[in-house]
């Protein structure tokens, strides 16, 4: 067993950490409601939008493990987790399915722009009645001429208000269940595609989100990803990328949070001593460290297995579960240690709580991860 990063991986981490600390200076440190095109282009210049995409399409060509280390540096360096989430969702749930299942023409057409920051990608799978039970989705696609007509509503599309390209999952054969779902690339300008009003949410607030309505959109057959009926497989694979690599951003966030919390506990004095000298506070911080390191190693192991093309199903579910639940608990612990300063937003602590809360819901809830683990255990 070998626990060291290579020199190249360490250099990559340091480069991204430093560059992502500066992204928000592209405009101003005051975060706008959503991230801006300037922020997006800064992510592209650092290489964050194409980390795991082949170099011939403008990406960096990293495997899942190296990609996750880069995403960790991004989450540690950039205080806007909404931007980190948007860039990672773009990469793992739109660009990667395209890179892995798209035709040569589709890859040539879209990937260079998606890596270069000229395009924004989104994944449109969830529907009002199909959340965890994603394969109950009702959006329909039927053949017509040399293409398909798509009809349905997707209820939760991150990046949707700004996206140029949507990866839409639709049912091509209602009788075939899991095998009756197909993936399509839908361009923003497609007639019949209506972008809904954006809505507010608790955390990751700079990620824009909306519904989209597909009102009999004609999608040429060459915009189909993979074969007809391969949609569920494509979706599952994209979720593996997302659950494995996107969550590295929360490892990065926890690292930053821990450093800040230690420093606060050393500086803040009550009853004549720094609060960090009180055993109850010091032990709370020790537990934060334990959760972070446990989650980190589950994540590295999952990404390593995934990079090695080994079966990573259980490892990825364990990692997603551990990282997301640790991110929430560590954020709550940091808030408690900061006291009122945390609640009022000092050092971004209350924002970290809000940004962590959705992590046990998106990319498959904690309950679904436990279901996967239990199934893998033969239960």
Full DSSP string of 100-143: HHS-HHHHHHHHHHHHHTSS-EEEE--BTTBSSSGGG---EEEE
Closer residue to ligand FAD, CB minimum distance, 46 or 120: 120
Closer residue to ligand FAD, CB minimum distance, 125 or 261: 125
Nearest to 319 by CA among 363, 289, 355: 363
Q: Which two tokens stand for residue 128?
A: 């009002």
Contact 304, 65 (CB under 8 A): yes
Active site includes 242?
yes
Q: How far is the CB of 126 from ligand FAD (least distance, A)?
A: 3
Residue nearest to ligand FAD (CB): 131
**Cα-trace Rg, the chain:** 21
Q: How far is the CB of 364 from ligand FAD (least distance, A)?
A: 6
Closer residue to ligand FAD, CB minimum distance, 134 or 288: 134
Q: How far is the CB of 118 from ligand FAD (least distance, A)?
A: 20
SS3 for 266? Answer: helix
Closer residue to ligand FAD, CB minimum distance, 158 or 257: 158
Q: How far is the CB of 289 from ligand FAD (least distance, A)?
A: 27
Nearest to 25 by CA among 16, 12, 15, 38: 38
Q: In 159-280, at which residue ranges do the beta strands (DSSP E only) sit?
A: 165-171, 181-187, 193-198, 209-220, 224-225, 269-270, 273-274
Closer residue to ligand FAD, CB minimum distance, 138 or 289: 138
Q: How far is the CB of 333 from ligand FAD (least distance, A)?
A: 22
Residue indicated by tokens 């597909």: 214
Q: Which residues bind ligand FAD (CB under 6 A)?
A: 89, 123-126, 131-132, 156-158, 204, 358, 361-362, 365, 367-368, 371
Nearest to 326 by CA among 370, 282, 290: 290
Whole-number Å distance between alpha carbons of 135 and 235: 10
What sign results for the dihedral spanned by CA atoms 39, 264, 248, 82?
A: negative
Q: How far is the CB of 255 from ligand FAD (least distance, A)?
A: 21
Q: Which of 242, 259, 293, 376 is catalytic?
A: 242
Q: Which residues pair with 209 in a beta bridge?
A: 158
Full DSSP string of 289-310: HHHHHHHHHHHHHHHHHHHTT-
Closer residue to ligand FAD, CB minimum distance, 184 or 300: 184
Q: How far is the CB of 310 from ligand FAD (least distance, A)?
A: 26
Closer residue to ligand FAD, CB minimum distance, 158 or 172: 158
Whole-number Å distance between alpha carbons of 67 and 88: 10
Question: How many beta carbons lie within 10 A of that of residue 192, not counting itself?
Answer: 15
Whole-number Å distance between alpha carbons of 108 and 112: 7
Nearest to 16 by CA among 356, 247, 249, 301: 249
Closer residue to ligand FAD, CB minimum distance, 124 or 186: 124
Q: How far is the CB of 206 from ligand FAD (least distance, A)?
A: 12
Q: Looking at the annotation, which residues are catalytic?
A: 242
């Amino acid at each position: 067993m070998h626990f060291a990063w290579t020199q190249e991986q360490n250099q990559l981490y340091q480069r991204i950490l430093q560059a992502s600390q500066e992204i928000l200076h592209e405009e101003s440190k005051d975060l706008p409601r959503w991230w801006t095109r300037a922020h997006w282009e800064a992510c592209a210049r650092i290489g964050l939008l194409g980390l795991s995409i082949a170099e011939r399409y403008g990406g960096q060509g990293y495997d899942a493990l190296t990609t996750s280390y880069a995403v960790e540096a991004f989450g540690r360096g950039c205080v806007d987790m909404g931007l980190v989430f948007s860039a990672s969702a773009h990469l793992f749930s739109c660009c990667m399915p395209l890179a892995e299942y798209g035709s040569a023409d589709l890859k040539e057409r879209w990937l260079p722009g998606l890596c270069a920051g000229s395009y924004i990608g989104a994944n449109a799978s969830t529907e009002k009645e199909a959340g965890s039970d994603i394969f109950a989705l009702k959006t329909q696609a039927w053949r017509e001429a040399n293409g398909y007509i798509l009809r349905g509503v997707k209820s939760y599309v991150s990046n949707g208000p700004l996206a140029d390209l949507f990866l839409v999952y639709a049912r091509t054969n209602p009788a075939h269940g899991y095998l009756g779902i197909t993936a399509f690339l839908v361009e923003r300008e497609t007639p019949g595609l209506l972008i809904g009003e954006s809505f507010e949410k608790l955390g990751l607030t700079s990620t824009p989100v909306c519904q989209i309505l597909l009102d009999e959109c004609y999608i040429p057959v060459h915009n189909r990803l993979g074969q007809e009926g391969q949609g569920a497989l494509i979706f599952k694979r994209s979720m593996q990328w997302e659950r494995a690599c996107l969550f590295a951003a929360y490892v990065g966030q926890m690292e930053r949070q821990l450093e800040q919390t230690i420093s606060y506990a050393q500086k803040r004095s009550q009853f004549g001593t720094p609060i960090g000298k009180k055993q109850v506070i010091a032990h709370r911080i020790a537990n934060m460290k334990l959760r972070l390191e446990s989650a980190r190693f589950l994540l590295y192991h999952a990404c390593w297995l995934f990079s090695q093309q080994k079966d990573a199903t259980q490892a990825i579910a364990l990692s997603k579960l551990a990282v997301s639940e640790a991110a929430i608990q560590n954020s709550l612990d940091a808030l408690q240690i900061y006291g009122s300063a945390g609640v009022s937003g000092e050092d971004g602590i209350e924002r970290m709580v809000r940004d962590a809360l959705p992590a046990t819901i998106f990319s498959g809830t904690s309950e679904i991860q436990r279901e996967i683990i239990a199934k893998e255990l033969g239960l």
